[in-house]
Amino acid sequence: MPHPRRLPQQYALVDGNNFFVSCERVFDPGLEGRPVVVLSNNDGCAVARSDEAKALGIRMGAPYFQIRELLARHGGVALSSNYVLYGDMSRRMMSVVAHYSPEQEVYSIDECFLRFAGFGHWDLTAHARRLRAQVRQWTGIPVGVGIGPSKTLAKLANHLAKKHPDFREGGVCNLQDLAPWHQIRYLSEVDVGEVWGVGPRWAARLGELGIHSAQDLRQADPETLRRRFSVVLERTIRELNGLSCIPLEEAPPARQQIIASRSFGHPVIAKAELLEAVSTYAARAAVRLRRDGLAAGAIQVYLATNPFIPGEPQYHPATLLGFAAPTADTARLIQAARAGLGRIFKPGYRYKKAGVMLVDLLPAGVRQGELFEVGGEPRQERRGRLLEALDSLNARMGRGTLRFAAEGVAQSWGMRRERLTAGYTTDWDGLAVARG
């Protein structure tokens, strides 16, 4: 097998270390050196952990009620997630990183890929070290950088940069710097489940076939594994061998669906409360729909009981309602969501979660089937202006300032968020104060 050494293109994966925790630490240095976790919605489970929290054995996704004691014993802190803050810090981090390559794909809130084509004469390792120092200096966020000839290898190098003692110090791992036998050694130390695209299920099945490490997978036969798994795994094997199959996506692909759902702060029994909840979710989804310039052809409404309670009667219904013409109108979406709930609601269950999903999304300009709509164009336009005003007011004054009556006022079913930090970067009242 030909070994890729210095290929015409290289990819870097840059990601924030323990991103949510790092964001919180930027604004509260008192969190430095202590075990810190950031909790999911509803203060349900740990979604980000500081190194100190990881050292205590706190797993990703660990339920808060199971780790609260442990954390307290070690002087630890748990925080509710503050997505407005993380989103703002993310934009700052991404804009600094963007200076280091003309091609950037923002892959998630805390990571991005860079592509280096025509950088053959560059020392990418030194380039990555400068990037890392500058992001740290300008945003306060520590990042790791992995470099390789495919996105999968860049991810893997990033894993080594953060986890392997040989690289952790510098926070940069460039596979180009390693001789082939050296690469084999490192890839043999990485569990196959750490490879991008291999989850727990596949890792277990691969283990049964004697494939335990990233190196084992790299040497496996792509054709055989395509038949036993899917083309996705075949592609991963080729990527591990330095053949780039997953292109950089600079522009986000067209959105396929919009989901708005939440677990409730406590079990909900009353239909009236569920009606408020699905109305609120429909309104929230509608805002995102309009922000992206889309209209929905159908809406799905679903309910769920709590699967974690042993012996609890379970019920997970869903129903899909189509629109005569695609719509982005909050009132229509709420109306459909309520109708959908009416179809699936059964009394006697303790509901834990509800949600709506908007599907069959089209650009809002594309109007089909308008023939059968009542009201015609002038009415539609007035409606559009009203919704624009609603969106811009809520964007300025805060979500929920102006809302539809169906969404309810008290929202007693709402989520818990008891450990929230301030909007340090997005809210005047949350500005950090320097004392001296």
- 19 φ, ψ (degrees, to nearest 5): -50, -50
Residue number, 156 or 172, with CB nearest to DNA: 156
Sole binder of DNA in the list 6, 256, 313, 434 (CB under 7 A):
256
Q: Which is nearer to DNA, 179 or 309 (CB)?
A: 309
Distance CA 326, CA 317 (A): 24
Site for DNA in 151-170 (CB under 7 A): 155
With respect to DNA, which residue has the nearer C-beta, 254 or 386? Answer: 254
Strand 172-174 vs strand 143-148: parallel, antiparallel, or unpaired?
Answer: parallel
Measuring CA to CA, how many Å separate 403 from each of 281, 284, 379? 12, 10, 21
Enumerate residues 349-368 that contact DNA by CB under 7 A: 352-353, 355
Pick the closer one to DNA by CB: 117 or 339: 339
186 or 351: CB nearest DNA: 351
Identify which of residues 80 and 425 has a Cβ nearer to DNA in the complex. Answer: 80
Distance CA 103, CA 249 (A): 9
State whether residue 293 is helix, strand or coil.
coil
d(CA 51, CA 295) in angstroms, rounded, equals: 43
DSSP 218: H
Per-residue DSSP letter, 373: -
CA distance 358 to 72: 42
> Cα separation of 249 and 406, whole Å?
39
Q: Could you give the CA distance from residue 320 to residue 300 in angstroms, rounded to a whole number?
A: 4
Please report, for residues 10, 326, 375, the alpha-carbon distance to residue 379 in angstroms, rounded to integers and kept in the order given.
54, 16, 6
Task: Using the minimum distance from each CB to DNA, give the nearer residue, 383 or 403.
Answer: 403
Q: Does 132 bind DNA (CB under 7 A)?
A: no
Nearer to DNA, 100 or 196 (CB): 196
- Please give the Cα distance from 206 to 229 (Å, whole number): 10
CA atoms within 13 A on the CB side of 394: 18
Of the listed pieces 59-67, 113-121, 387-395, 417-425, which binds DNA according to CB under 7 A?
A: 59-67
201 binds DNA (CB under 7 A): yes
Cβ neighbors of 275 (< 8 A, separation 6 or more) are 338, 341, 406
Is residue 239 a contact point for DNA (CB under 7 A)?
A: no
Site residues for DNA, 66-95, by CB under 7 A, read: none
Select the residue interacting with DNA from 99, 130, 185, 266 (CB under 7 A): 266
Return the range that interacts with DNA (CB under 7 A); candidates 102-110, 132-140, 374-382, 418-426: 102-110
Q: How far is the CB of 428 from DNA (least distance, A)?
A: 27
Q: Which of 17, 41, 176, 335 binds DNA (CB under 7 A)?
A: 41
- Indicate which single residue of 9, 40, 305, 335 sits in contact with DNA (rule: CB under 7 A): 40
Task: Name which position in 103, 107, 212, 297 contacts DNA (CB under 7 A).
Answer: 107
> Is residue 258 a contact residue for DNA (CB under 7 A)?
yes
Buried b vs exposed e over 224-237: b needs ≥16 C-beta within 10 Å?
ebeeebeeebbbbb
The reply to whether 232 sits near DNA by the rule CB under 7 A is yes
Q: CA-based angle 359:409:42, to the nearest 5?
A: 65
List the x/- string, 177-196, binding to DNA by CB under 7 A.
------------------xx
Q: How far is the CB of 171 from DNA (least distance, A)?
A: 17
Query: Between 290 and 353, whose beta carbon lies closer to DNA?
Result: 353
Considering only CA atoms, which of 86, 96, 87 is closest in space to residue 25?
86
Q: Is 231 in the site for DNA (CB under 7 A)?
A: yes
For DNA, which residue of 21, 173, 198, 286 counts as binding (CB under 7 A)?
A: 198
Give dist(CA 177, CA 137) in Å, integer.
26
Q: Binding mask 289-328 vs DNA (x if CB under 7 A, - otherwise)? A: -----------------x-xx-------------------
Looking at 86, 100, 167, 202, which residue binds DNA (CB under 7 A)? 202
Binding site for DNA (CB under 7 A): 40-42, 44-45, 47, 61, 63-65, 107-111, 155, 195-203, 226, 230-232, 253, 255-263, 266-267, 288, 306, 308-309, 352-353, 355, 415
